[in-house]
Amino acid sequence: MPKEQPLASACLTRRHLLGWVAATGAAIGAGLPRVAVAQPSGFADHVLWYRGPAREWVEALPVGNGRIGAMVFGTVARERLQLNEDTFWAGGPYNPVNPLARENLDRVRHLLFAGEYAAAEALADETLMARPLIQAPYQCIGNLLIDLHGEGAMPEAYVRTLDIDSALASVDYELAGARWRREVVACPESQIIAVRLSTDNPAGLTARLSFASEAPGTALTAAEGRLCMTGRNNDFAGIAGALRFAADMAVEQQGGAQVADADGVTVRGAREVVLKIAMATSYRGPQDVSGDPEAATRATLDAVAGIGFDAIARRTAEAHQRLFRRVTLDLGRTPSADLPTDQRIRESASRDDPALAALYFQYGRYLLISSSRPGTQPANLQGIWNDSNSPPWGSKYTININTEMNYWPVQPTNLPECAEPLFAMLRELAHTGARTAHEMYGARGWVAHHNTDLWRASAPIDGAQWGLWPLGGAWLSLYLWEHYEYAPDRAFLAEAYPVLAGAAQFFLDTLQQGPEGYLVTNPSLSPENPHPFGATLVWGPAMDTQILRDLFTATAQACRLLGEDAAFAAALDAAKAALPPMRTGAQGQLQEWPLDWDADAPEPDHRHVSHLYALYPSHQISPHRTPELARAAQRSLELRGDLATGWAIAWRINLWARLRDGNRAHAILRLLLDPSRTYPNMFDAHPPFQIDGNFGGTSGIAEMLLQDEGLADGENASPALHLLPALPDAWPDGRVTGLRVRGGGTIGLEWRGGMLASAELHATHDLARRVRYQGAEAEIRLAAGGRLVLRPEDFVQAAR
């Protein structure tokens, strides 16, 4: 665990400012030269820091409490906090199922089995796709603008930071002989964003405070000590906006005077100003928009009246550190770690900087904690940070990989609470998805396709070539089983079981007998990759079969553990046995489609590697259990290439780690850290920004250090824990603590000279595991609360 320290020492202090060296007094601002300063003493390796303000959104620094968030720009003359609230989406409740779908479904199936792929896709576009064909986009509440100095202000010793251990963003500079400081936190317990402005200027500070928004119907109400903005959400595709919102701010100051007018509040001569911002919408659930946002924000601000910034920052740090400090990672340090963060990213391809990988790992955990907490919405394509009412891909939940990738780090990096919003969404999706299953397919259970939104729409969108993929909900539901694997809890499994069972039931009702007699999905596709026959739609793509094998296995296991319907479990076992096997094609690759079409696919370097789901995140393919399939998966990766979009590069890191090739995984990690795929604020660049690459990168680093096999199939009755399975040469010495293991426990690893020095396990449940290191094994048994240290000599060579 990191050393406990007072809150003040985790942040920049005024004492630090005295030691900073400014090489020039040039102005800092848009288009102006940056001030060169030495790194302040006291910075830790969990701090992102910069010598100048953000010139664009992907340079601003994110804070969030899971539900509300802000991007902090740090501009000297005018500070901008771009604001988000996680339920502020366009539209309102709606049912997008196409009324023509059910009567045309069998025609589409017949055309696909007959090899008439383009005709099937054209018919599906006309009759099966959702109405409207798009889903609701995530929206931006607006901006808080803080005007502090006149244009052309010329600061010295400017430093902007984000401490991801204390969850505090700050800006420090000297101007006109005085020191100025801004601090921003998003407090999960107080449910506010708090800002402190302070100076030692004898005249105090003057600040003009205002809100700005592009949301419809926006109105401002200002009074002494208070500024409130209200409005509503946008319509989309004929769906009327049904939400109201409020952004309410309390303005508290020490000294000076305050004046309110129609457009904002002006503070004059204050030594310190504290702003407390509450945000809410009228959203209460996918079918309920009856909330009172103004009453909610008033109550929130009333509850924090009289509480100072230090106390709010302390609450924020304590709530954050309860999660964040569970895992530590040290991969070594070079002089590059002392450079500003944006410079480290720019030079990542040419400098040895293992601490940058460790920072990226922890930054992903910071972003997950900040965008997905119990009681909030799940992290969407941009987490919670979005400055547009028409963001890329709607900033929705894309559930053919991207939302799943968001939650890859949850269990291994010890953040299980962060999965609760995903589980809540699954319960809601199971409800709307049951309607879609019945109305579109005439099936029991529930289904969700490749996207969903705040309203939990589950019909296929965007066009058949992308959206007619019925496995999105099935894949997501496996996170319930994974949660149980890591912390066996019968009560949790009982609550999760209806979602799992409903997802499986849908496929028992809809699987079709294919040309070879196997049970296959139809219609479907291999996400978003066209095959050689002028279409994307197909029957029985490999990824579908792989996901269903996991779903049927997990649901049947849950049936038996809970003593539920034995006949249902037997039906799942039978269906699993009737699924087609994974196959190797003529190129030596793992086949993506039911027939060997890979060599003729029009996009051989496609970003998606959907057919490698069985290697990662699943455990169906393993170098030591299924070496032939592992070689085929490796060949597929070689043919696909390493360079792709940000999130797709992140997936490749995890896949090469599973293949036990640490140096290849590390080379791809360096591609991810390159400025073409990582923005200056360390957001992932698809491009544009998508947060899944951050989370996939965090997961990939964890996979390089520890791999924990799940129950991939009934044949894998004794899953193993693999220590340092893909340790690259670039990280010869290091240490990690707090990673979670299945069955209930955590592990810490230390290595020197590229070799394991020790592994320390702590059991939270009775734990019996098989542990592997470099082909040798150790069997361990620990009672709940027990501790065990393993050293290399404790492992014996495993029988082949």
pLDDT given for residue 154 in this prediction: 84
pLDDT tens digits for 643-692? 999 999 999 999 999 999 999 999 999 999 999 999 999 999 999 999 99
pLDDT tens digits for 355-367? 999 999 999 999 9
Q: Are residues 520 and 608 in the same domain?
A: yes
SS3 call for 398? strand
- pLDDT at residue 247 greater than cutoff 90: yes
Alpha-helical regions (H) of 641-754: 646-658, 662-673, 692-705
Which of 267, 297, 325 corresponds to the end of one domain? 325
pLDDT given for residue 24 in this prediction: 24
Number of domains within the chain: 3
Considering all CA atoms of the chain, what is the largest pairwise distance in Å, rounded to the nearest integer? 84
- pLDDT at residue 14 greater than cutoff 50: no
Taking residues 540-555, report their average pLDDT.
98
pLDDT given for residue 1 in this prediction: 35
Q: Does the bond joining 687 to the residue before it have cis omega, within 30 degrees of 0?
A: yes
- pLDDT at residue 560 greater than cutoff 60: yes
Taking residues 162-166, report their average pLDDT.
98
Which of 309, 325, 341 corresponds to the end of one domain? 325
Q: Are residues 147 and 126 in the same domain?
A: no
Residue 670 lies in a domain: no
- pLDDT at residue 561 greater than cutoff 50: yes
Reported as type and span, the H/E element at residue 367 is: helix 354-371
Reported as type and span, the H/E element at residue 162 is: strand 156-163
pLDDT given for residue 666 in this prediction: 98
Alpha-carbon torsion angle 623, 628, 629, 634, nearest 10: 70
Q: Confidence band (pLDDT; 50, 70, 90) for 469?
A: very high
- pLDDT at residue 207 greater than cutoff 60: yes
Residue 706 lies in a domain: no
Residue 212 lies in a domain: yes
Averaged confidence pLDDT in the chain: 93
Q: How many CB atoms lie within 10 A of CB 215?
A: 21
- pLDDT at residue 4 greater than cutoff 50: no
Residue 647 lies in a domain: no
Taking residues 67-71, report their average pLDDT.
98
- pLDDT at residue 401 greater than cutoff 80: yes
pLDDT given for residue 568 in this prediction: 98
pLDDT given for residue 35 in this prediction: 30
15 or 310: which leads in pLDDT: 310
Residue 692 lies in a domain: no
Taking residues 206-225, report their average pLDDT.
97
Cα angle for residues 787, 789, 791 (degrees, 5° grid): 165
- pLDDT at residue 715 greater than cutoff 60: no
**Residue from 366, 508, 481 nearest 426 by CA:** 481
- % the chain with pLDDT above 90: 91
- pLDDT at residue 37 greater than cutoff 90: no
Cα separation, 444 vs 432, whole angstroms: 12
pTM for the model stands at 0.94
Q: Confidence band (pLDDT; 50, 70, 90) for 28?
A: very low
Taking residues 564-573, report their average pLDDT.
96
Q: Are residues 144 and 126 in the same domain?
A: no
Q: Are residues 119 and 176 in the same domain?
A: no
Q: Are residues 304 and 231 in the same domain?
A: yes
Reported as type and span, the H/E element at residue 427 is: helix 420-436
**How would DSSP label each residue in 252-296?**
EEESSEEEEETTEEEEEEESEEEEEEEEEES--BTTB----HHHH
pLDDT tens digits for 318-335? 999 999 999 999 999 999
Cα separation, 399 vs 555, whole angstroms: 20
Residue 685 lies in a domain: no
pLDDT given for residue 719 in this prediction: 86
Domain span at residue 724 reads 720-797
Cα separations in angstroms, 666 against 659, 671, 694, 699, 702: 13, 9, 15, 13, 12
pLDDT given for residue 15 in this prediction: 28
Q: Are residues 106 and 81 in the same domain?
A: no
Q: Are residues 608 and 735 in the same domain?
A: no
pLDDT given for residue 711 in this prediction: 62
pLDDT given for residue 153 in this prediction: 79
Q: Encode 440-463 in three state secondary structure.
A: HHCCCCCCCCCEECCCCCCCCCCC
Q: Are residues 320 and 387 in the same domain?
A: no
- pLDDT at residue 148 greater than cutoff 90: yes
pLDDT given for residue 799 in this prediction: 56
pLDDT given for residue 749 in this prediction: 98
Taking residues 762-781, report their average pLDDT.
95
Q: Give the CATH number for residue 589.
A: 1.50.10.10
Q: Are residues 233 and 126 in the same domain?
A: no
Q: Give the CATH number for residue 792.
A: 2.60.40.1180
pLDDT given for residue 152 in this prediction: 78
- pLDDT at residue 17 greater than cutoff 80: no
Residue 273 lies in a domain: yes
Which of 641, 657, 689 corresponds to the end of one domain? 641
Taking residues 504-521, report their average pLDDT.
98
SS3 call for 775? coil
- pLDDT at residue 41 greater than cutoff 90: no
**Residue from 179, 152, 146 nearest 22 by CA:** 179
pLDDT tens digits for 570-622? 999 999 999 999 999 999 999 999 999 999 999 999 999 999 999 999 999 99
Cα separations in angstroms, 477 against 223, 663, 723: 48, 33, 28
Q: Are residues 113 and 216 in the same domain?
A: no
Q: Are residues 124 and 157 in the same domain?
A: no
**Residue from 334, 288, 280 nearest 85 by CA:** 280
pLDDT given for residue 600 in this prediction: 96
Q: Are residues 292 and 191 in the same domain?
A: yes
Characterise 754 by phi-psi region: left (phi > 0), alpha (psi -120 to 50), beta (else): left
Reported as type and span, the H/E element at residue 749 is: strand 745-752
